[in-house]
Structure 1
Amino acid sequence: MKHQQAVFLQEMGITHWQVRKPALFKAEEVHKQLNLSQCELLVVCTKEDKQHPLMQAILNAFEIGKDKVTYCSLAQFENQHGELPTLIWSTIGQLEVAPAHQLLHSPALAILAEQHHAKQTLWKQFCAYQQ
């Protein structure tokens, strides 16, 4: 279930089912809820993007510490219930989020590292939300 659908159901007073023993399922990681209590930036990306050297450089430019960033896959994002941080960055394409969230999107970091205009676009998106 996508996050937006879960929020809609929650607003209607309909609770969602939660798997008691997720270890029985192969997709256990998908069902695992993220701890977003201290998160300022949620990054929806691949494992390769998370480990790319450019990731830390961008976070430094955004002035967001490592402890304030949470990484997740698209499947984890779509199955996340509850509140999301205001700032969300996707390196895997456009996401559907409520208008209250500030959504940044960019190509994968391997591509971003080679395209100067894509870096500028990401920076302009970030600056637009900071004003």
Structure 2
Amino acid sequence: MNDLQRLKEMGITVWDVRRPECYPDVSPQPVSLPDDCKLLLVCESKPTEQEALLFSKVLASMKLSVKQALHLPPQAVNLLDKHQLEWCWFAGTQQMDIDGVKMLTSPSLAVLENDQFAKKQLWQQIKQYES
């Protein structure tokens, strides 16, 4: 069994080699999203249970379900393959360009949870696309 198969079996589909010079034969694989994925949450780590509750409330306000959203770490955004995304939400990380996608930025979900002003700014960004 090779290393890529081991990673896949462990559920690790997005990874980054810290010292690529040690692995000349390994190239980053494109990240494929399911066709029903409409929103991509880009942040350093997967939401905690508490953060996931806030995330699901924001999705509901956008008329999206949790099943239509996925998390991706920032270093994997450049590896995106063809997709059907409508939204990309950068939470606590620098925004990157993704053509044809509505972009949202906010502090991390942990900060957003307790910051009413940041929540209001996020809501205004969402509403801006509706008009």
Same fold (TM over 0.5): yes
Shift of 1:95: 2.0
Q: Is the alpha carbon distance of 1:50 and 1:42 closer, same or farther for their aligned partners in structure 2, counting shifts above 3 Å?
A: farther
Shift of 1:55: 1.3
Matches within 5 A, 1:35-114: 35-49=33-47, 51=49, 52=51, 53-83=53-83, 85-98=85-98, 100-114=100-114
Counterpart amino acid of residue 80 in structure 2 = Q
1:29 and 2:11 aligned? no
Count the aligned residue pairs.
112
Identity %: 19
Shift of 1:59: 1.5
The residue that corresponds to 2:19 in the other structure is none
| 1:11-60 superposed Cα distances (whole Å, 9 cap, x missing partner) | xxxxxxxxxx73478x8623362323111111112334364131122112
Which consecutive unaligned segments of at least 5 residues does structure 1 have? 1-20
Q: TM-score, normalised by structure 1?
A: 0.69
Q: Is the alpha carbon distance of 1:42 and 1:112 closer, same or farther for their aligned partners in structure 2, counting shifts above 3 Å?
A: same
Provide the aligned C-alpha RMSD in A.
2.8
Q: Is the alpha carbon distance of 1:41 and 1:48 closer, same or farther for their aligned partners in structure 2, counting shifts above 3 Å?
A: closer
Moved over 6 A (4+): none
Which consecutive unaligned segments of at least 5 residues does structure 2 have? 16-28
Q: Greater helix share, 1 or 2?
A: 1
Q: Is the alpha carbon distance of 1:28 and 1:116 closer, same or farther for their aligned partners in structure 2, counting shifts above 3 Å?
A: closer
Q: Is the alpha carbon distance of 1:78 and 1:50 closer, same or farther for their aligned partners in structure 2, counting shifts above 3 Å?
A: farther
Counterpart amino acid of residue 29 in structure 1 = V
Contact 1:36 1:85 in 2 (8 A): no
Contact 1:49 1:108 in 2 (8 A): no
